[in-house]
Amino acid sequence: AQSVTQLGSHVSVSEGALVLLRCNYSSSVPPYLFWYVQYPNQGLQLLLKYTTGATLVKGINGFEAEFKKSETSFHLTKPSAHMSDAAEYFCAVSEDSNYQLIWGAGTKLIIKP
Amino acid sequence: DAGVIQSPRHEVTEMGQEVTLRCKPISGHNSLFWYRQTMMRGLELLIYFNNNVPIDDSGMPEDRFSAKMPNASFSTLKIQPSEPRDSAVYFCASSIRTGVTEAFFGQGTRLTVV
């Protein structure tokens, strides 16, 4: 069965510092992987996704993620945090035969001035 | 495109009352999802439809919850009777079920049952 684990319910970084949000998954087949962002009082918005091809995926707002099959990971990074990045981030996985998304618990990103 | 449209944005109701949440998916999308988000449980999938047909409603918490999709452009989630523990943000999302594409979310309905 598929599952998604996001390490850390809260992550705090200083403005300008590297952002690293961790996501590990379990899947019996090559997965499709997604990162979504939720700003306060808003719905979820797609940041980036991996389906096939290049394992380093670039998304909106300067975020990127790398699919590492050997580590079953899809960590989200951004070189320099901005105050506007404060939000909750969700990792999700889907298998080809079942397009239903399995969601991680979410990580709240806190940006310190 | 206006995106997924949900109404109302906020709903406050008394325990025991019927509540109806509404969703208009993105035109051309043939899959629709209802989610519930709470602090305690996070994001939970309640039900999803494909081509207006309910495919999996295993996430619906109990018989008080029901969902319908009478046509491709409209869906409702009804709670009758409502209880304080139903207080949550309810999201509707839609996607195209061809290959693997992302789900597009509405702004959500914040339901408070007092």
pLDDT tens, position by position, A32-90: 899 999 999 889 999 999 988 889 999 999 999 999 999 999 999 999 999 999 999 99
Which of B31, B95, B105 is opposite residue A44, by nearest beta carbon?
B105
Distance from CA of B10 to the nearest CA of A (A): 11
Share of chain B above pLDDT 90, in %: 76
Beta carbons of B15 and B113 less than 8 angstroms apart: yes
DSSP reduced 3-state for A33: strand
pLDDT at A98: 56
Contact between chains at B102 and A34 (C-beta distance less than 8 A): yes
Contact between chains at A34 and B4 (C-beta distance less than 8 A): no
pLDDT in tens, B5-39: 999 999 999 999 999 999 999 999 989 999 999 98
pLDDT at B46: 95
> In this structure, how many other beta carbons lie within 10 angstroms of the beta carbon of residue A49?
19
- Close Cβ partners of A97 (under 8 Å, ≥ 6 residues apart): A29
> Which residue in chain A is spatially nearest to B92 when comparing CA positions?
A43
Residue predicted with more confidence, A39 or A31? A39
Report the pLDDT averaged over residues A7-19: 96
pLDDT in tens, B35-74: 999 988 888 999 989 999 998 898 998 899 999 999 999 9
Contact between chains at B102 and A96 (C-beta distance less than 8 A): no
> In this structure, how many other beta carbons lie within 10 angstroms of the beta carbon of residue B104?
21
Report the pLDDT averaged over residues A88-108: 84
pLDDT at B106: 95
Residue A65 sits at φ, ψ, to 5 deg, of: -145, 150
Q: Is the pLDDT of residue A99 over 70?
A: no
Q: Which amino acid is at B44?
A: E
> In this structure, how many other beta carbons lie within 10 angstroms of the beta carbon of residue A60?
10
Res. A29 pLDDT band, cuts 50 70 90: confident
